[in-house]
């Protein structure tokens, strides 16, 4: 039996609750696919910061470096902030420390769940947003300054776009489009920028177009971020893979989650050349934490993404079987109307959804 060491960081709020569901499902998969998941829980998060002054202990980060993969719940609490007034968000520290440059946000419609768009083509939504996650405007985190005084004071945050950072995330998006095309999807990449206004974005677009030449089987287009926000609401079914800067990706990834019902169905991964973190795209939801009603679907789907990534990295097709088993079990649970999450107007608890998936594995 092949064994994989998984660093588990449940974090804050509902992160703990949805992580428990994911760990239960992964344990149930072990005998089915002949793999062993050694899941070790490590401390990190805003609550830890409020208690110790350290949101991400060195021991936790070291464990992340040594693990085969990192499974992450949710971190951050609105009332826990650093000296500069910003929230304590250790997941950003992990991205920078492990050079996790590709933020992968897949979104699809799930049969059996209602969607907010009335157009019947909404049933065809199946796209992936790839967000550059180590620079862009997020480069300014911890580097911003407030200058001057009184009425003449102002704040500065610097956006950083490098050739290396842009080229590698564009290549990631092109390779992903190739994989999707091989699976019968469109094989199309849309670059999202603001090249009509910012020099940094014009530079980004130049690099995108240069890298596109190395992927002749993939069709491409450019779009401004404001127009893309409109088109993602009006006709999201026409998109395949999007690639964009860090801040734009942060915003658009929430928008696309809304298209299929909300953050409870939005898995994600932050992937680098050597490490990867898998987590639901939602936050800690302190308003419902402890009530047992959080939708664990995004967490379960993030675990499936982890299995897919490990399968490629370690040439282990059994893990692909495990990923598809999780997805199929979740889909069956929705199609048979066995569960309906609270965020879709239902009454199914976290445990209800996890147990339904376990029954169908």
Closest-CA residue to 2 (of 33, 32, 35, 28): 35
Residue 287: its pLDDT value, please? 95
The token pair that represents 180 in the structure block: 């999707």
**Domain limits of the chain?**
1-106+266-361, 116-144+159-259
Contact 275, 245 (CB under 8 A): no
Residue 150: its pLDDT value, please? 96
Which helix (H) or strand (E) segment holds residue 71: the answer is strand 69-74
Chain-centre distance for alpha carbon 176: 15
Integer Rg of the chain from CA: 20
| pLDDT by position in tens, the chain (length 361) | 799 999 999 999 999 999 999 999 999 999 999 999 999 999 999 999 999 999 999 999 999 999 999 999 999 999 999 888 888 889 999 999 999 999 999 999 999 999 999 999 999 999 999 999 999 999 998 899 999 999 999 999 999 999 999 999 999 999 999 999 999 999 999 999 999 999 999 999 999 999 999 999 999 999 999 999 999 999 999 999 999 999 999 999 999 999 999 999 999 999 999 999 999 999 999 999 999 999 999 999 999 999 999 999 999 999 999 999 999 999 999 999 999 999 999 999 999 999 999 999 9
Yes or no: domain 1-106+266-361 corresponds to CATH 3.40.718.10: yes
Q: Which residue has the tokens 């993030």?
A: 302
The pTM assigned to this predicted structure is 0.95
Topology at the third CATH level for domain 116-144+159-259: Isopropylmalate Dehydrogenase (3.40.718)
Q: Are the folds of 1-106+266-361 and 116-144+159-259 the same?
A: yes
The token pair that represents 62 in the structure block: 């070291």
Which helix (H) or strand (E) segment holds residue 171: the answer is helix 163-182
Residue 85: its pLDDT value, please? 83
Which helix (H) or strand (E) segment holds residue 227: the answer is helix 225-234
Q: How far apart are CA 326 and CA 316, in angstroms?
A: 17
Residue 136: its pLDDT value, please? 95
Residue 50: its pLDDT value, please? 93
Q: How far apart are CA 173 and CA 182, in angstroms?
A: 14
Which helix (H) or strand (E) segment holds residue 279: the answer is strand 276-280
175: left (phi over 0), alpha (psi -120 to 50) or beta: alpha
Q: How far apart are CA 68 and CA 36, in angstroms?
A: 12
Q: DSSP characters for 176-224?
A: HHHHHHHTTS--EEEEEE-TTT-HHHHHHHHHHHHHHTT-TTSEEEEEE
Closest-CA residue to 31 (of 318, 316, 354, 336): 318
């Amino acid at each position: 039996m092949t064994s994989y060491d998984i660093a588990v960081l449940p974090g804050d709020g509902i992160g703990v609750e949805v992580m428990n569901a994911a760990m239960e499902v992964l344990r149930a998969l072990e005998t089915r696919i002949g793999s062993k998941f050694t899941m070790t829980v490590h401390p990190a998060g805003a609550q830890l910061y409020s208690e110790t002054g350290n949101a991400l202990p060195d021991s936790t980060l070291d464990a992340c470096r040594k693990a085969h993969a990192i499974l992450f719940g949710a971190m951050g609490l609105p009332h826990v902030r650093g000296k500069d007034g910003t929230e304590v968000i250790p997941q950003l520290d992990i991205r920078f420390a492990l050079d996790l440059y590709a933020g992968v946000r897949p979104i699809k419609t799930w049969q059996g769940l209602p969607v907010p768009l009335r157009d019947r083509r909404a049933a065809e939504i199946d796209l992936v947003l790839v967000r550059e996650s180590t620079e862009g405007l997020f480069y300014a985190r911890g580097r911003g300054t407030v200058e001057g005084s009184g009425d003449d004071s102002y704040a500065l945050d610097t956006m950083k776009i490098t050739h290396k950072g842009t080229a590698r995330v564009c290549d990631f998006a092109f390779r992903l489009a190739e994989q999707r095309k091989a699976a019968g999807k469109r094989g199309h990449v849309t670059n999202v920028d603001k090249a009509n206004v910012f020099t940094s974005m014009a530079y980004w677009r130049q690099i995108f177009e240069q890298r596109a030449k190395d992927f002749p089987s993939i069709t491409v287009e450019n779009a401004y971020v404001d127009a893309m926000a409109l088109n993602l609401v009006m006709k999201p079914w026409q998109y395949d893979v999007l690639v964009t800067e860090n801040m734009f990706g942060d915003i658009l990834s929430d928008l696309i989650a809304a298209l299929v019902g909300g953050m409870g169905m939005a898995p994600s991964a932050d992937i680098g050349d050597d490490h990867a973190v898998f987590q639901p795209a939602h936050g800690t939801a302190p308003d419902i934490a402890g009530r047992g009603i959080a939708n664990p679907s995004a967490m379960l789907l993030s675990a499936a993404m982890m299995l897919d990534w490990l399968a490629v990295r370690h040439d282990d097709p059994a893990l692909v079987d495990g990923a598809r088993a999780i997805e199929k079990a979740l889909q069956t649970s929705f199609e048979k109307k066995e569960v309906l999450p609270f965020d879709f107007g239902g009454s199914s608890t976290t445990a209800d959804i996890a147990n339904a998936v376990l029954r169908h594995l």
